Structures are given as C-alpha cells and as structure tokens.
Amino acid sequence: MSANHSHAANHGENPLRSHVIGFAISLALTFFSFGLVMSGVLASSTTLVVVVIAAAMQVFAQFHYFLHLDSSSTQRMNVMVLIYTIVIIAILVGLSLWIMYNTHIRMMPIPMAR
C-alpha cells in the first residue's frame, strides 16, 4: 500500500466496498430490530431472543466488514486476543448473573413496611 497514491483503492479489494457492505448489513439489522420491538408483533420473550441474535450478527458484521478481522495470518494475534476477551467476558457476565439471580431467588421476601 506504500507509494501508489491515487491508485491504491483501484487495485484488488476496495476498502470502501467492504465498508458499504458492512454499513448496509448494519443498517438493515438496526431497522429490523427497532421495528420488531416498536411494533410488538411477537411475544416479548421471542422478541428479545430475536433482537439478541440480530445484535450478535451486527457485531460480527462490523468486526468483519469494518475492522476486517478474519482468519488470515496477519490477523491471528488480533483474533486470538479477541477470543480470549470473549472468554473473560463470558465468565465475568455469565457467572455474575448466575450468582446474583440465584441469590435473589433464595432470599425470603421481606415485608417492607408494616
């Protein structure tokens, strides 16, 4: 990518092309999610499952098309660190919620005022 000034984007893969694809996917998923929640056509539990899947797809699309993370060798360290971070986040968030919801369920309801 060194000194080929104006020709840079005309050879091989155009970085803008990938950005347009990522933007279109993100836009479509955002419209879909907001539309689904605001219209309330599905039961709220079903809606939440669908919007979480849509969010996961959008995060994946943005990592892939905006940040260009993939399995190529130049990206290996970046991807490894990302996977490690996802494991830490899964432990941190998953176990926090597990502990706190169990604590909540096991607590006897306390009458607030008498």
Partner 1 sequence: MSSTTLTDHPESDHHLHDATENATFGFWLYLMTDCILFASLFATYAVLYQNTASGPGGPEIFDLPYVFGETMFLLVSAFTNGVAMSFVYKKDRQKAVFWLIVTALLGLGFIVMEVNEFIHLIGEGNGPDRSGFLSAFFGLVGTHGAHVSIGLIWMAVMIGQLLIKGVTPKVSSRLIRLSLFWHFLDIVWVCLFTVVYFFGVA
Q: Which residues bind partner 1 (CB under 8 A)?
A: 1-3, 5-6, 8-9, 11-16, 19-20, 22-23, 26-27, 30, 33-34, 37-38, 44, 47-48, 51-52, 54-55, 58-59, 62-63, 66-69, 72, 74-75, 77-78, 81-82, 84-85, 88-89, 92-93, 96-97, 100
The sign one gets for the Cα dihedral 33, 38, 43, 45 is positive
With 0-12 / 13-18 / 19 or more C-beta atoms within 10 angstroms meaning exposed / middle / buried, residue 42 is middle
Q: Measured from the CB atom, is 2 or 108 closer to partner 1? A: 2
* CB 14 to partner 1: min, Å: 7
Are 32 and 57 contacting, i.e. CB atoms less than 8 angstroms apart?
Answer: no
Q: What residues have CB less than 8 Å from 76, skipping those under 6 apart? A: none
Are 96 and 88 contacting, i.e. CB atoms less than 8 angstroms apart?
Answer: no
* CB 53 to partner 1: min, Å: 10
* CB 46 to partner 1: min, Å: 10
Q: Measured from the CB atom, is 77 or 108 closer to partner 1? A: 77
Q: Measured from the CB atom, is 12 or 108 closer to partner 1? A: 12
Nearest to 52 by CA among 77, 86, 29, 27: 29
